[in-house]
Amino acid sequence: MPVIEDLPDLTHWRTVQEFSISQAALLLSGIDPYDYDNGLDDVKNHRHPRWKLAWGFSEGIVSAIRRGVLTPVQCFAIRWVEHDQWNGGWDYFEMKPNDRKYEMSKDKTLITRDSLYAWVENERVDFVRKPLPEKKINTNNWNPDSPSRVIDIEPEPVTTNIPLLPKYEHKSEGLEFVQDAIKELWSTYDPEDPQTAPTKNEVIDYLKSKGATSNMADAVNLILRPTHLQGIGRRAKKTT
């Protein structure tokens, strides 16, 4: 893994739960996005030592989104629009993650911390880290002829609510949609109140907006919906 001695302090990003592709790529490269107002372009223009690494991470994230292994919160396209022969500007509009007709905006497209962690873990992404601190060796029991060095490995902080499903080293587009639907639609479901369950149409429409096919959306809805809720869901309030 890339080990860098002089990484900046990035602890102020720990509470952030959503990142743009640009921000995520910079953080994976050990670069503070707050230091570069124009994101990836600024890092490149300033010839930061890790600018190529940051751009590589950004392209990897875009590829993962298009492949369906990383689900965005919102996916935006970017294009140049000519207003007249003298003027023009960048135009942003929402797009389906798997739509390859448009260039994906790395500044506007958003991903969650959870999905970024899952991608890093499943794809074994080699992100930048600080070197591990060395422990002081107890000289009372230390053999001076031993070549071994004791390393103090600090465990990564555990967030028990990150995985929405158990992970068994398998991934697919369908599992991404299942996790997304659980988080966005079923997390507020109260088993004591069946009316809080999302309706079939809500689930299917949401998944289609995220790029799922009709068959995939139907399958995910069937998997997540308890049998006794097949005909029950949120209903519109009656108006008097």
pLDDT per residue as tens digits for the range 20-54? 999 999 999 999 999 999 999 999 999 999 999 99
Determine the average pLDDT of the residues in 191-217: 87
Residue at 143 is within a domain:
no
Beta strand 110-112 pairing with 18-20? antiparallel
The amino acid that residue 45 corresponds to is N
Q: Are residues 115 and 188 in the same domain?
A: no
Residue at 57 is within a domain:
yes
φ and ψ at residue 90, rounded to 5 degrees: -80, 135
**pLDDT for the residue numbered 106:** 95
SS3 at position 100: coil
- Total number of domains in the chain: 2
Residue at 154 is within a domain:
no
**pLDDT above 60 for 6:** yes
Structural contact between residues 103 and 132, judged by C-beta atoms closer than 8 angstroms: no
Structural domain containing residue 29: 11-72+110-122
Q: Are residues 53 and 115 in the same domain?
A: yes
Residue at 185 is within a domain:
yes
* Interval 86-106: pLDDT, tens: 777 888 999 998 888 899 999
Helices (H) and strands (E) in the chain, counts: 7, 5
In angstroms, rounded to a whole number, what is the distance separating the alpha carbons of residues 5 and 153? Answer: 16
Structural contact between residues 111 and 73, judged by C-beta atoms closer than 8 angstroms: yes
* Interval 117-146: pLDDT, tens: 889 988 888 888 877 666 555 555 555 555
